[in-house]
Amino acid sequence: MERRILIIEDEERMRRLMELVLVEQGYIVKTVNDGLEGMVLWQTMKPDVVLTDLKMPRADGFEVLDFRNRLFQQVPLIILTAYGTVQSAVTAMKQGAYDYLAKPIDNEQLIEVVAKAIAETRNQGGASRVCGLQWSKMVGSSPVMKKVYKDIALIGCIRMSVLITGESGTGKELVARAIHTHSERPDSPFVRVNCAAIPRDLLESELFGHCRGAFTGAVNDRKGAFILADGGTLFLDEIGDLPLDLQPKLLHAVEEKSVTPVGATKAQTVDVKIIAATNHNLDEMIQSGLFRSDLYYRLNSFHIPLPPLRKRGKDLIELVEYFLDRFCREQGHKSLTIDAEALKLLHNYPWPGNIRELRNVLERIVLTCKNGVITSEMLPEKIKWYCTATKKKDKESFDLPAQEKQLIAAALENCGWNQSESARKLGVSRNSLRYRMKKYNISRMR
């Protein structure tokens, strides 16, 4: 069966390129250059997928989305967004858009997203999308993050254990929740256990539950995280901090899909998807005898590594826009912009605390900013100090004449200002040494 695609895009070249790519894939493609014309054609064409730009004459992308929500909820709508309007695309997805593609459009991504939208709509028998990727809190269109999104889409509906690794603050819990949302049962329980935050004496009960009287203070039966997450997802955060003596019991629960509460004699069957996360290097922990290799391989059926913020390129700008918009709304603040110098400092800072650190910095700035523009003076001292120190270091590192002058002076000093010996040690002729001494005004201080 031939599938019909409607493209609503006011940029002629972009519109034509997408049409050619999709026609090559066997789709019937119609294109228009504004939102109003697109809504008129939609009613007669009956497209299977619609791609629409946000900013267009006569009717913009949000009006097209509203039209879709009122009359054609079963049709996936994909937003085409320019660099500066990514946050608007995120807002559109919250209002029901299927996904967004950042310009310039990647042909392979275009083909993949359209095919996936059609396949999901077909699998749901025309019902509106319920478990598609809704990146309401995940921001970033860099290649490394596109890979993360693809991994989430791939693993979401597969009952396979997932291990998420990455530095603190990179968004491991957000990825875990996105996997759960994209699963075949997004309305089922999502239970999180922080293995690093719960005392060892309580962690076993937290995971597996306990029976009344199992230990001092156990006055009632208590369901553990495995049982609470039955039918859904159990997120084991900071799995690298799980005590070694509890690891065999966790391995048994994962393998056998059953748990025995503390003090009980009978096991209970559970059906949970396991997602674990850590900022530790589990391979090194295995070598040190701190983590069981069999548990590692059981949890690591599918691995999603999260990149640190410093390796996500221009994602930082998208994150800055997202957080500024979010905190301005939350604090009832008027909209803020950030000047070029401040943005440059933010971009050059290595962000050891990753997205969590960026979020905290921007939340404080929004709280204290009294005018409409964020300047470099408003940034924390550590960011300004780092960038200043780095600039100074880089300048010194590449000041070759200064380094050469230092080297020559040191050689002369070490050789008691014997020019022949100094030249030999430096690997240059005596005449070359004299030339450089004159050039750099190097002379013995008497």
Domain C-terminal end among 258, 284, 307 = 307
- Confidence tier at 446 by pLDDT (50, 70, 90): very low
Per the structure, the count of domains in the chain is 4
d(CA 386, CA 254): 45
- Looking up residue 407, the CATH number of its domain turns out to be 1.10.10
Note whether 319 and 355 are within 8 A (CB).
yes
Are the C-beta atoms of residues 275 and 304 closer than 8 Å to each other?
no
Quick check: 5 pLDDT over 60?
A: yes
- For the chain, the farthest-separated pair of C-alpha atoms sits apart, in whole angstroms, at 96
The answer to whether 242 and 250 have CB atoms below 8 angstroms apart is yes
| Domain presence at residue 261 | yes
Per-residue pLDDT, 396: 47
Domain of residue 91, CATH code: 3.40.50.2300
For residue 139, being part of any structural domain is answered with no
Q: Is residue 146 part of a domain?
A: no
pLDDT bracket for residue 88 (50, 70, 90): confident
Do 54 and 19 fall into the same domain?
yes
Residue 134 maps to a domain: no
pLDDT at 128: 32
CA distance 124 to 48: 13
In a domain? residue 138: no
Specify if 192 maps to a domain: yes
Considering the domain architecture, whether residues 159 and 296 belong to the same structural domain is answered as yes
CA 161 – CA 258 distance, rounded (Å): 15
Q: What is the CATH number of the domain that holds 319?
A: 1.10.8.60
CB atoms within 10 A of CB 197: 11
* Residues 89 and 159 reside in one and the same domain: no
pLDDT of 85: 58
pLDDT of residue 127: 32
Whether residues 432 and 319 fall in one domain: no
Q: CA 5 to CA 42: how far, in whole Å?
A: 10
For the cut 50, the answer to whether the pLDDT of residue 125 exceeds it is no
Do 237 and 195 meet the contact criterion of CB atoms below 8 Å apart? yes
Q: Are residues 108 and 159 in the same domain?
A: no
Higher pLDDT, 58 or 30: 30
The domain in which residue 411 lies consists of 400-439
Q: Examine the pLDDT at 232 and tell me if it is beyond 50.
A: yes
Mean pLDDT, residues 176-182 taken together: 89
- In DSSP terms, 209 is beta-bridged to 223
Q: What is the CATH number of the domain that holds 208?
A: 3.40.50.300
How far apart CA 330 and CA 126 sit, in angstroms, is 37
**CA dist., res. 186 & res. 171, Å (int):** 19
Q: Are residues 11 and 100 in the same domain?
A: yes
CB 162 within 8 A of CB 275: yes
Question: Cα(322)–Cα(312) distance, rounded to whole angstroms?
Answer: 15
Q: Say whether both 416 and 369 belong to one domain.
A: no
Q: How confident is the model over 59-88, as a mean pLDDT?
A: 81
Is 137 part of any domain? no
171 & 303 share domain: yes
**CA 205 – CA 222 distance, rounded (Å):** 8
136 located within any domain: no
pLDDT digits (tens, 9 = 90+) for 32-42: 998 888 888 99
pLDDT at 58: 79
**What pLDDT, in 10s, does the model give residues 302-332?**
999 999 999 998 889 889 988 998 888 888 8
For 250-300, how does the pLDDT look when each residue is reduced to its tens digit (9 = 90+)? 999 999 889 988 888 888 899 999 999 999 999 999 999 999 999 999 999
Closest CA to 207 of 179, 243, 157, 167: 243
Query: Considering 79, 96, 129, which residue would you say is the last residue of a domain?
Result: 129
Q: How many whole angstroms separate alpha carbon 27 and alpha carbon 256?
A: 47
Average of per-residue pLDDT across 411-422 = 81
* Residue 311, number of CB atoms within 10 A of its CB: 11
**Of residues 12 and 236, more confidently modeled:** 236
Mean confidence (pLDDT) of the chain: 84
Q: Among 307, 337, 359, identify where a domain stops.
A: 307
Q: Give yes or no: residues 274 and 411 share one domain.
A: no
The answer on 419 and 381 residing in a single domain is no
The pLDDT of residue 91: 74
Give the rounded percent of residues in the chain with a pLDDT score beyond 90. 33
The reply to whether 268 and 358 lie within a common domain is: no
- Same domain membership, residue 382 and residue 425: no
pTM summary value = 0.60
Q: What is the pLDDT, as a whole number, of residue 252?
A: 93
pLDDT over 50 (residue 61): yes
